[in-house]
Amino acid sequence: MKAARYGHSATVLLDGRVLMAGGGTNPDAEIYNPTTGTWSSTGPMTEARTNHAAVRLGDGTVLVISGYYNDATSTEIYYPSSNTWHTTGRLNVARNYPQAVLLNDGRVLVVGGQNPATGAALSSAELYNPTTGTWTLTGSLRTGRYYHSATLLTDGTVLVATGYNATVGNGFVAAAERYSPATGKWTSARSMAVARRNAAVVRLQSGRVLVAGGDTGGSLNSAEIYDPISNSWSATGSMVLQHGLSPGVLLSDGRVLVAGDSYQGDVYAPATGTWSSTGYQVFTDLVESAAALLANGTVLFAGGATNTCDTTGEYCQYTPTNAVQIYNP
């Protein structure tokens, strides 16, 4: 890439190119062209941001929400046709580490995150209307959280799971919840067996949801699956390696790739409930890489950071990279 970045977003555009946005102190973004294997810059973003949320809207534009290095209420839209960015409505609640999902009716749900002023976990949620460009508050989570996940289920509801909240137990969240766009309310789902944050969360072709890895201070290799019909979690095979702060990607054949923060990745086969190692990564031990499934079935991994900690493990230095690698299943 032209810029080193971590905590950025990867969004596949309608034409198959990939938008990499944010991930640093500069308001820049760039586009990957899989046909030529090259990168080109977009027009500058209206604000620098990292650890934000990004969602491709129904018309092919990309909504980017909040994040560090701004006032955490700002949102903007990328227009591929003009290669430009434009501001849109501001959030009602400032939030870092938000999660967002495109609903079946075209609206966007943003949920949870961290209060940038106090560091507390947020329970509030908001809806974006792309027709009016405005945000309205909706029902709040029962358990506030950040470092969490939000997944659209096949029935149109949204599952929120995992995360961190310093006021809950040891801070790591096992509770899960489901949002109904029809009612604007949250209901409790069955709790996970293992409380965790920063997990790889992927909806399988069957409609079930795989949660793999994450951390509770140290990275995990355990995984479990949520069944929306029975509202239950069940353990599945453990990953070969431990993965925290690693993206998960649904492959074209229905398997799931989890990779980024180790020397190899792990691939999950839903048919057998087992994991197997991938080949060695070209660039290893990168946290917060961004990943995207390309049209030819390969997976683009871009950016991320090496994490160097002192002997206590408490003080760490992240060094971002512009390295790019592609996984071929």
| 172-191 confidence digits (pLDDT tens) | 999 999 999 999 999 999 99
Rounded average pLDDT over 102-115: 98
The confidence score (pLDDT) of residue 314 equals 64
Rounded-to-5 percentages of helix, strand, coil across the chain: 0, 45, 55
Rounded average pLDDT over 21-29: 92
The DSSP call for residue 98 is -
The confidence score (pLDDT) of residue 190 equals 97
The confidence score (pLDDT) of residue 69 equals 81
CA triplet 185, 189, 193: central angle to 5 degrees? 150
Range with the lowest mean pLDDT among 94-98, 193-197, 281-285?
A: 281-285
**Given pLDDT bands bounded at 50, 70 and 90, which one contains residue 317?**
confident
Residue type, 178: R
Residue 316 has pLDDT above 80, yes or no: no
Structure tokens at 182: 């029809």
The confidence score (pLDDT) of residue 71 equals 85
Percent of the chain exceeding pLDDT 90 equals: 90
The confidence score (pLDDT) of residue 266 equals 98
Helix (H) or strand (E) holding 302: strand 299-302
Residue type, 312: T
The DSSP call for residue 3 is S
Residue 261 has pLDDT above 90, yes or no: no
**Given pLDDT bands bounded at 50, 70 and 90, which one contains residue 310?**
low
Residue 101 has pLDDT above 70, yes or no: yes
Measured over the CA atoms of residue 276, residue 12, residue 29 and residue 324, the dihedral's sign is positive
**Given pLDDT bands bounded at 50, 70 and 90, which one contains residue 311?**
low
Rounded average pLDDT over 200-220: 96
Rounded average pLDDT over 203-221: 96
Residue 313 has pLDDT above 70, yes or no: no
Are 46 and 70 within 8 A, CB to CB? Answer: no
Structure tokens at 113: 């995150």
| 126-158 confidence digits (pLDDT tens) | 999 999 999 999 999 999 999 999 999 999 999
CB hemisphere CA count around 16 (13 angstroms): 11
Q: In sequence order, what are the beta bridge partners of 251?
A: none
Extents of the domains making up the chain: 92-189
| 267-299 confidence digits (pLDDT tens) | 999 999 999 999 999 998 888 999 999 999 999
